[in-house]
Amino acid sequence: MQKLLLLAILGLTVSTIYCDSGSGSGSSESSEAKDLKKKKECAGDVVDETGDSGKPLLIEALFNVSITLTGEDKIIFETFIIELEGLFASENYTSLEIVMYSSFKLKKFFLKYPVFYKQCKFLSIGSWGTFYDLFQVGVYLSADKFNGCLIVNESGKFDLIEAFLQFKSKCPNPAAFEVYISQLTLILESTEYSESEKYALIYELILEISVEFPDLKEEFLELEIGSFGSIYMLQEISVQYYRMKEVKKLFKGTPKCEFVSALYSCLSDSKYQLSMSNKGYLKVLFDKFSVIIANDTLTYAEQIKAISYQYRQFIKTYYYLQETILSFEISAEFGTFGDFIAMFAFGESQECWPEDFLTFPEVTTEVATTETATTEAPTTVPVTGDCSTASSVVLQVVGTQSILYTS
């Protein structure tokens, strides 16, 4: 366990400096987006570069974990490593494809054995980054691969519908599954839904099917969608868009919105084992979140970015609370604060924010007229804040960094 703790500390340290010489991004981009883009560019290194053992960095990192295990845990873990080495030995994939598929295999393995996930989440993979970083980069790589999944193929068919039809033939109740095919068809053929809305609806559909057919869930998620990848991979992409949609709900409410209220409630949850002083530090951070969300001069994307910035500044001082705060649950449907940060990094690095996250909604007012003059009221006004009665806030840009000052 001491070895694992040391590896975790090293992982958190090196993951912020690796690939620093990589190509830069736009000046308005967040540190998270820039960092993960660099890791994405260098992702092939976890396959192509070798460590002290002579094995690829990712395999070596897993073996470093296995030597700390005993008994059945060790057997299970090393059996998985052997399976992963088979993927590495394949000549059918590029290095980036191996990284992508490995990240999904690892995540499924860790979900099946949560004790391993808890141990490995922040462990380092050489000097590239952590397993946590790997899961995020895997989603980014698959998102690139899935580009075009929502449109018809060369034959004029949707590959996703074809995959659903394949599952229907194996389903014990084909008639019941036909309902989901009809729903999927409506989503894909719709000209009213945006791409982000389609992904969010597809995620909800995948969840419904997984609940309706629990015995076939694993087989369903393993289905390949043409040459894009599996339904499980699509689920991990589409959940990001689902969370974006949920954010709009979570940021509503007075005096405190659901997002902030959920974080406050975690402070009194005994499972997090927080000291009184740490509760105080976190409460100050969450108060800042309230101020940001209440600021009606910021778009959703700007609010999320400002929250991420405050979090990033917080863990520079209270780094020992990073794993704890990332595990704070926002809601059963949304996930954790870590999922919130991952969603933000995905939206920024993939430049895929929903349109209404980048603009204020238009509010059209009537044209007022008199006998002597005609006055037209403004056609747009900023949306008013509806989350908490927090104090005033000033957003100042210094260089390329946005800083929020509160009073």
Note the pLDDT of residue 16.
39
Return the SS3 of 55: coil
CB 282 within 8 A of CB 267: yes
Q: What span, in angstroms and rounded, lies between the C-alpha atoms of 55 and 44?
A: 14
Note the pLDDT of residue 168.
93
CB atoms within 10 A of CB 248: 12
Across the chain, which has 407 residues, the per-10-residue mean pLDDT values are 47 41 48 83 96 96 96 97 96 95 96 91 93 94 92 94 93 91 97 95 97 93 94 96 95 88 97 97 97 94 96 96 96 95 91 88 50 48 45 44 46
Q: CA nearest 319: which of 5, 13, 39?
A: 13
Note the pLDDT of residue 396.
46
Note the pLDDT of residue 290.
95
Note the pLDDT of residue 404.
53
Note the pLDDT of residue 173.
86
Omega of the bond leading into 255 within 30 degrees of 0 (cis): yes
Return the SS3 of 124: strand
DSSP state of 354: -
Note the pLDDT of residue 109.
96
Spell out the alpha helix ranges (H) of 276-377. Answer: 276-294, 300-317, 322-326, 337-349
